[in-house]
Amino acid sequence: MSQIRVDHLTFSYDGSVEPVFEDATFALDTDWKLGLIGRNGKGKTTFLRLLTGELSSQGTLTISVPVAYFPYAVTPEQMQRSAAEFADELRENGELWRVICELAELHEDAEILYRPFNTLSHGQSTKVLLAILFSGENDFLLIDEPTNHLDAQAREIVREYLSTKKGFILVSHDRDLLDACTNHILVLNRKTIMVQSGNFSCWQENQKRRDQFAEAENEKRRKELRKLRQAARRTAEWADKSKRTKIGFDPIKETDRSISSRSYIGAKTKKMQSRVKNTERRIEREISEQEGLLQDIEEIKSLKLSPLKHHKETLVTVRDCTLQYSGAAEPVCTGLTFSVRQGQRIALHGTNGCGKSTLMRVILQKAGVLPADENLSVSGICETASGLIVSYVPQDASFLHGSIPAFCEERGLDRSIFCTVLRHLDLSRAQLAKDISDYSAGQKKKVLLAASLLTPAHLYIWDEPLNFIDIFSRMQIETLLADYRPTMLFAEHDVRFRENIGAETICFQSSDRR
């Protein structure tokens, strides 16, 4: 066991107003199963890149062991070759026989190592790269979002696999994965960085207690501040009144006064003024301590939604529906039958490639949101209610670019309200001034979600809306959907999310695509 020490780490990107890290100091053990969590844009991936040496910073970052980073950057040339051919180019001290052993733990046959890499499914390529990552020895492994775009079955396999490993940092927004695979949590808070033993649920429970204690202490300080301010006002008034009597008096009415009393009154006034200054200093100290109490509290700000009421009870009808692309040997999916009624939240569940996204696109085409796809044939019944207004969040957000004002103008959104929603989703004011193409993947997804939330609709269709979205924002969205109960049709592999919003599940036929 060895340590990674971080001393007075400071880092900011060129042109950035706020630093990502500022004077951060902490230590990690290299045999930990460490989960790294924080809001989107707080620096999780940046920290991993600092550990690999890809980025340079001020301060000291001491690493006594080699590190390896997942996901590997597979070049276009390597994509044409099999993983067996280029595995040693990604992992210098890895051996192919160990990659095969690791693949067996991931429930995959070694045969996929000998196929061209670009023919593998997303789940298969993820498993191959994880097997290559763990095929070496003595390295500290940096694992960044290994379950993004994976279906529930593949996530479960990766979860079981990582739970048997140690000596890594795992960046993930999947709460179940963090609970199953970690024994320490590194949290990038709003103002500080904290390391704690235990998994995500342990940290969350402890954080709730810390927040409750901080809120209680803060309320005590607010009451104390009110008393101090009242005392300061009274003392200041007395001092002013006393000072006014220092010069000039009526000898007939004030028989107990004389010129010699001036010095006494002056001394008394000075003492009162000193008391006022001491009280003001105490007030400043109380305010400073109050701010310190609340600096790391994750305030889950409430969001709003404006679902519309449709004159029909059933919004979507799918009966004996089969979808097939022209030239494909087999249909994408067959025999689908279900309906979407007002107030329902329907989760489409199945393995990657089973047709969830394709079906959602067909429904969007029927509703006039997307143009018809001539390469896709639809047999059976797939109908939408007339006049249906749909709000859509696509799976991919990489196409976003341009400024926030331009985005709002294109979508017909109120810029002020849109920016308020993004602020509630924890994007800073400085971030709102940037080009959207410079946003992180999670921040781009928040732009699409914010636009959907501000679009009054009968039906909300979201395709994997939580990919790259941080844990705190996931809980915000869960609370929103539980409160407003909009009609939804969505695909999302986060089981806890589906359960928390009370979604009904439509299971697609499983396929061999993984």
Same topology for domains 3-206 and 314-507, yes or no?
yes
Q: How many residues would you count in the chain? A: 514
Answer for the pair 276, 234: CB distance below 8 angstroms, yes or no.
Answer: no
Q: Is the Cα dihedral 118, 44, 55, 443 positive or negative?
A: positive
User: Mapping DSSP to helix (H, G, I), strand (E, B) and coil, where does residue 320 land?
Assistant: strand
Half-sphere exposure (Cβ direction) of 514: Cα atoms closer than 13 Å: 17
Fold of 3-206: Rossmann fold (3.40.50)
Rounded to whole angstroms, the Cα distance separating 186 from 331 reads 45
Q: What is the CA radius of gyration of the chain?
A: 30
Burial class (CB in 10 A: 0-12, 13-18, 19+), 133: buried
User: Considering only CA atoms, which of 487, 485, 497, 415 is closest in space to residue 450?
Assistant: 415
Tell me the whole-structure pTM to 2 decimals: 0.74
Report whether CATH 3.20.20.140 matches the domain 314-507. no
* Secondary structure E strands in 193-236: 193-197
Predicted local distance difference test score (pLDDT) of residue 478: 92
Domain-wise residue ranges, the chain:
3-206, 217-294, 314-507
Predicted local distance difference test score (pLDDT) of residue 512: 43
Taking every pair of Cα atoms in the chain, the longest distance, rounded to a whole number of angstroms, is 115
Cis omega (within 30 of 0) for bond into 116 = no
User: Considering only CA atoms, which of 299, 292, 334, 336 is closest in space to residue 316?
Assistant: 336
Answer for the pair 163, 181: CB distance below 8 angstroms, yes or no.
Answer: yes
Rounded to whole angstroms, the Cα distance separating 40 from 451 reads 18
Predicted local distance difference test score (pLDDT) of residue 449: 95
pLDDT in tens, the chain (514 residues): 688 999 999 998 877 777 889 899 999 999 999 999 988 888 899 999 999 999 988 999 999 889 999 999 999 999 999 999 999 999 887 889 999 999 999 999 999 999 999 998 888 999 999 999 999 887 899 999 999 878 888 899 999 999 999 999 999 999 999 999 999 999 998 778 999 999 999 998 998 888 888 777 777 777 776 776 776 676 666 666 665 555 555 555 555 555 555 565 566 666 766 776 776 676 666 655 555 545 555 566 778 888 999 999 999 999 999 999 888 888 988 989 999 999 999 999 988 878 899 999 999 999 999 998 888 999 999 999 999 999 999 999 999 999 999 999 999 999 999 999 999 998 888 889 999 998 988 999 999 999 999 999 999 999 999 988 998 899 899 999 999 999 999 999 888 899 999 899 998 864 444 3
How far apart, in Å, are the Cα atoms of 389 and each of 310, 364, 407, 411, 501? 9, 10, 20, 15, 22
